[in-house]
Amino acid sequence: MVSYLIRRSLSMIPILIGISVISFSIMYLAPGKPAVMNLDPTISAEARSRQLSALGLDDPAPIQYIKWLGAALKGDFGVSYIRKRPVSKMITERLPATLLLMGSSLFLASIIAIPMGILSAHKQYTPLDYGITTGSFLGIAVPDFWLGLMLIMLFSVNLGWTPVGGIATLGGDFSVLDRLHHLILPTIVLATGSMAALTRYTRSSMLEVLHQDYIRTARAKGFRESKVVMKHGFRNGLIPVITLFGLLLPTLVGGSVIVEKLFSWPGLGLLFIDATFQRDYPVIMALVMLGAVLTVIGNLVADLLYAMVDPRIEY
């Protein structure tokens, strides 16, 4: 197990370097220059080149990459071209909001989707199953921005129960209740999509298990149906679902641009999209690498969890 961990961790290094090379190249090959380079056109060529060299933009791309990598290895992700602030600070400022939103929506999605998936599989081809299936497809089909706007119209504008957007009441002191109040709608919108997918995933995984011989054996032994489904079925059906959670880890910090925009939620998704439009290279690279690291770690975690819940798997 320990040697497996070490091996896997070491193999992450070339993967991450590969990702950084590719993202850096794509970023440079994409049309458009950093917005800071659109200076006052009457500025002298000399002043312009001084400014570019201050930003390190006058080096050839490979040199820029190596400089970036050297600094990044030391944990220094540079300073935003636009905001002139350390990128790591900009990210840590935004990270909690995104984690909170994505975490709560994932939590909400799981506590609803997993029981629904089990139920749907257990009652296959009944009206209940059809109902859940239809509901899931609706959830997948409904676009985030539409659902968000509709919920805002209904609950914020017409009923006045929830705030229109933001993360806290303007000028108010921090309180958990206030935060939850602001969290409800965006969480529901984000959860709807993933809930639907998770329900379908759980359902198909459970169905596969429920048709296994050992389930028939368990039933033949005369166990209660709930015990058959939950103990013998669910525990085995959960295995593929756990993998899914491992893979969802990067989305936790990736945030959702659409929902964050709609609800003015100050998270990383917005930071990323703004940085992309302004070609703010240091911010783009830091966020891409954050996503890459979490994807790689997520995969590892999924594999480890696999071994934990499934005794047949050993490393």
Partner 1 sequence: MTMSFRWLSPLLATPFLLAACGGGNEPAATQTQTAPVPEPEAAVVGVEPGYGGNLIIGSIGEPVIFNDLYSQDVPSGDISDLIYAALTTSNENLEVIPDIAIGEPDISEDGLQWTFDMKEGVLFHDGVELTAHDVVFTYSIFLDEDYTGPRAGSFTSLENIEALSDYQVRFTLSEPDARFATLTGYGILPRHLLEDIPVAELGEYQAFNIDQPIGAGPFRFVSWTSGQNLVLEAFEDYHGGRPYLDRVTFRFVQDLNAMVLLLGQGEVDYATGIPPEELPTVESFDNVNVHSTLALRYDFLGYNLRNPLFQDKRVRQALTHAIDRQEIVDTVMEGNATVAHAPVSPLSWAYNDDVPVFDFDPERAKALLAEAGWTPGDDGIMQKDGERFSFEILSNDGNNVRRDLGIIVQQQLAGIGIEVTPRQMEWGAFLDRILAPNFDFDATILAWGLALDPDPSAIWHSREIEQGLNNIGYSSPVVDALAESNIRIMDQDERAAELAKVWAELAEDQPYTFMWYPLQFVGLNQRVQGFVHHPRSDMHSVSSLWIAE
- Residues engaged in binding partner 1 (CB under 8 A): 30-33, 35-36, 38-45, 47, 50-51, 54, 79, 82-85, 90, 93-94, 97, 149, 152-153, 156-157, 163-168, 170-171, 260-267, 270, 277-279
Query: Shortest distance, CB of residue 44 to partner 1, whole angstroms?
Result: 7
DSSP class per residue in the chain: -HHHHHHHHHHHHHHHHHHHHHHHHHHHHSS---GGG---TTS-HHHHHHHHHHHTTTS-HHHHHHHHHHHHHTT---B-TTT-SBHHHHHHHHHHHHHHHHHHHHHHHHHHHHHHHHHHHHTTTSHHHHHHHHHHHHHHHS-HHHHHHHHIIIIIIIS--S-SS-SS-TTPPP-HHHHHHHHHHHHHHHHHHHHHHHHHHHHHHHHHHHTSHHHHHHHHTT--HHHIIIIIIIHHHHHHHHHHHHHHHHHHHH--HHHHHHTT--SHHHHHHHHHHHT-HHHHHHHHHHHHHHHHHHHHHHHHHHHHH-TT---
Is the Cβ of residue 17 or residue 47 nearer to partner 1 in the bound state?
A: 47
148 vs 193 by CB, closer to partner 1 = 148
Of the pair 199, 278, the CB lying nearest partner 1 is at 278
Residue placing its CB nearer to partner 1 in the complex, 41 or 75: 41
Query: Cβ 83 to partner 1, closest distance in Å?
Result: 5
Nearest-approach distance from CB 50 to partner 1, in angstroms = 5
Give the nearer residue to partner 1 in terms of CB position, either 23 or 264.
Answer: 264
Distance of closest approach, residue 196 Cβ to partner 1, in angstroms = 24
Give the shortest CB-290-to-partner 1 separation in angstroms.
17
